[in-house]
Structure 1
Amino acid sequence: MSKLLVKPTDGQGRVTHITPQNAGWQYVGFDLHRLRPGDRVSEETGHREVCLVLVSGKARIAAGGEEFGLLGERMSPFDGVPSAVYVPGGSDWTVSAETEVELAVCSAPDPEGNLPARVIAPSDLSKETRGSGTNTRYVTNILPEDQPAQSLLVVEVITPGGHTSSYPPHKHDQDNLPHESLLEETYYHRLNPPQGFAFQRVYTDDRSLDESMAVEDGDVTLVPKGYHPCAACHGYDLYYLNVMAGPRRTWKFHNAAEHEWLLNAG
Structure 2
Amino acid sequence: MSKLLVKAKDGGGRVAHVTPQSAGWGYVGFDLHRLTPGETVAESSGSREVCLVFVSGKGRVHAGGQDLGVLGERMSPFEGKPWSVYVPQDTEWSVEAGTDLELAVCSAPGLGGGLPVRVIAPKDLHEELRGKGTNTRYVTNILPEGEPADSLLVVEVITPGGHTSSYPPHKHDQDNLPAESYLEETYYHRLNPPQGFAFQRVYTDDRSLDETMAVEDGDVVMVPKGYHPCAACHGYDLWYLNVMAGPKRTWKFHNATEHEWLLKA
**Residue-by-residue CA offset, 1:82-112 (whole Å, 9 max, x unaligned):** 0000000011110000000000000000041
Aligned match of 1:165: 165
**Residue-by-residue CA offset, 1:54-97 (whole Å, 9 max, x unaligned):** 00001111111111101111000000000000000011110000
Aligned match of 2:149: 149
CA distance in 2, matches of 1:196, 1:140: 23
Question: Structure 1 unaligned runs (5+)?
Answer: none
Aligned match of 1:222: 222
* 1:62 paired to 2:62: yes
Tell me if the contact between 1:19 and 1:29 (Cα under 8 Å) persists in the aligned partners: yes
* Structure 1 residues 151-230: aligned runs within 5 Å: 151-230=151-230
| Identity score, percent | 78
Tell me if the contact between 2:111 and 2:151 (Cα under 8 Å) persists in the aligned partners: no
CA distance in 2, matches of 1:139, 1:94: 28
Aligned match of 2:255: 255
TM-superposed deviation, 1:23: 0.4
Q: TM-score, normalised by structure 1?
A: 0.99
Aligned residues: 265
CA distance in 1, matches of 2:65, 2:110: 18
Name the SS of the counterpart of 2:85 in structure 1.
strand
TM-superposed deviation, 1:230: 0.1
Tell me if the contact between 1:191 and 1:239 (Cα under 8 Å) persists in the aligned partners: yes
Aligned match of 1:89: 89
Tell me if the contact between 1:33 and 1:102 (Cα under 8 Å) persists in the aligned partners: yes
Tell me if the contact between 2:153 and 2:244 (Cα under 8 Å) persists in the aligned partners: yes
Aligned match of 2:122: 122
Question: Structure 2 unaligned runs (5+)?
Answer: none
Tell me if the contact between 1:32 and 1:105 (Cα under 8 Å) persists in the aligned partners: yes
Letter in 2 for 1:178: P
Name the SS of the counterpart of 1:248 in structure 2.
coil
CA distance in 2, matches of 1:7, 1:235: 22
CA distance in 2, matches of 1:206, 1:32: 33
Q: TM-score, normalised by structure 2?
A: 0.99
After the TM superposition, list the runs of 4 or more consecutive aligned residues in structure 1 that deviate by more than 4 angstroms.
none
Letter in 2 for 1:140: T
Letter in 2 for 1:92: E
TM-superposed deviation, 1:126: 1.6
Pick which of 233-242 and 122-131 moved more.
122-131
* 1:137 paired to 2:137: yes
Tell me if the contact between 1:63 and 1:94 (Cα under 8 Å) persists in the aligned partners: yes
Tell me if the contact between 1:49 and 1:150 (Cα under 8 Å) persists in the aligned partners: yes
* 1:40 paired to 2:40: yes
TM-superposed deviation, 1:113: 5.1
* 1:242 paired to 2:242: yes
Aligned match of 1:17: 17
* 1:264 paired to 2:241: no
**Residue-by-residue CA offset, 1:118-156 (whole Å, 9 max, x unaligned):** 000001112101000000000000000000000000000
